[in-house]
């Protein structure tokens, strides 16, 4: 990575591409776990929440591999842990009485800083801390914002009928039933594009470091390798491209920069089924002054 790519004091705008083969990248629980699609166009969707979940599930392992201090790379939003309990820990750690009806702005800020120092996802994504008995902590706005991932071409989700050799209930076995029917959804193939943006101005308040950005980019490169399930199929990160500015304000609007990374279908390809059915083009001939470009994967 270039030094400017991991500089926490400047703005970054990035785009990434990943694909799925015979899998469900993000099921909709309100739709029988059917892969999410834009009903008007048929393009596949993966929510920003799903992307951040993969980051949260992997960034601790990344930090461990990079020999970063584990107490600084805990995850706030983690399965099996109540958020109220974790926010209450910030009061105890900073000497605030949990039952206090009113705390000073300085006390609240100390508790928020304890949270950002401990939890990497709070530093990067922010968090709502005004729950339970810690309403005075309010909300921390994170510097890293992801958008929804959208497939380059429309996808056609397929439902597969499956069978299991045993039943869920003993009474069904007693009645002589030998198999149980089920179903699973897959996308035969889809290449997805997602973009994210980093605000150095907000990062000053949460204390993001160059180590945090290094861990983030490494996590993005490898997180799909640590999210393998039969439901997911084969998911692969195909590209990670970062534009970095010379200061916190930025040298150019984000979208024209990100639009310089183009994905086009190879001439003659009908329905894409592999990544090589596409061609990636990067147009960096006349970048605005102060903007640097880095290919982290691709």
Do residues 163 and 182 make contact, with C-beta atoms less than 8 angstroms apart? yes
pLDDT of residue 178: 78
- DSSP E strands in 5-69: the ranges are 12-23, 27-28, 34-35, 43-46
d(CA 22, CA 132): 42
Q: What is the mean pLDDT of residues 135-139?
A: 92
pLDDT of residue 102: 86
The pLDDT tens digits of the residues spanning 192-248 come to 999 999 999 999 999 999 999 999 999 999 999 999 999 999 999 999 999 999 999
Do residues 224 and 54 make contact, with C-beta atoms less than 8 angstroms apart? yes
Helix (H) or strand (E) holding 149: strand 149-154
pLDDT of residue 19: 98
Q: Is the pLDDT of residue 101 over 80?
A: no
pLDDT of residue 106: 94
The percent of residues in the chain predicted with pLDDT above 70, rounded, is 100
Helix (H) or strand (E) holding 61: helix 48-65
Helix (H) or strand (E) holding 93: helix 83-93
């Amino acid at each position: 990575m270039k030094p400017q790519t991991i500089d926490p004091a400047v703005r970054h705008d990035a785009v990434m591409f990943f694909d799925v083969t015979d899998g469900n990248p993000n099921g909709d629980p309100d739709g029988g776990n059917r892969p999410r699609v834009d009903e008007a166009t048929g393009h596949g969707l993966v929510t920003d929440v799903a992307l951040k979940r993969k980051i949260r599930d992997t960034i601790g392992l990344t930090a461990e591999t990079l020999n970063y201090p584990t107490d600084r790379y805990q995850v706030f939003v983690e399965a099996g842990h109540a958020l109220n309990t974790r926010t209450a820990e910030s009061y105890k750690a900073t000497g605030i009485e949990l039952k206090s009806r009113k705390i000073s702005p300085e006390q609240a800020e100390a508790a928020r800083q304890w949270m950002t120092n401990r939890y990497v996802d709070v530093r990067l994504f922010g968090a709502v801390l005004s729950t339970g008995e810690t309403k005075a902590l309010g909300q921390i706005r994170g510097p890293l914002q992801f958008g929804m991932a959208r497939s380059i071409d429309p996808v056609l989700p397929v439902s597969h009928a499956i069978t299991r050799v045993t039943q869920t209930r003993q009474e069904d076995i007693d009645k002589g039933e030998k198999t149980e029917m089920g179903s699973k959804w897959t996308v035969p193939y889809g290449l997805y594009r997602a973009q994210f943006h980093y605000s150095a101005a907000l990062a000053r308040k949460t204390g993001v470091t160059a180590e945090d950005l290094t861990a983030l980019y490494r996590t993005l490169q490898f997180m799909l390798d640590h999210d393998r399930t039969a439901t997911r199929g084969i998911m692969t990160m195909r590209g990670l491209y970062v534009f970095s500015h010379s200061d916190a304000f930025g040298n150019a609007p984000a979208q024209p920069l990100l639009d310089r990374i183009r994905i086009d279908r190879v001439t003659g390809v009908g329905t894409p089924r592999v990544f090589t059915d596409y061609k990636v083009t990067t147009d960096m001939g006349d970048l605005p002054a102060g903007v640097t470009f880095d290919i982290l994967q691709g």
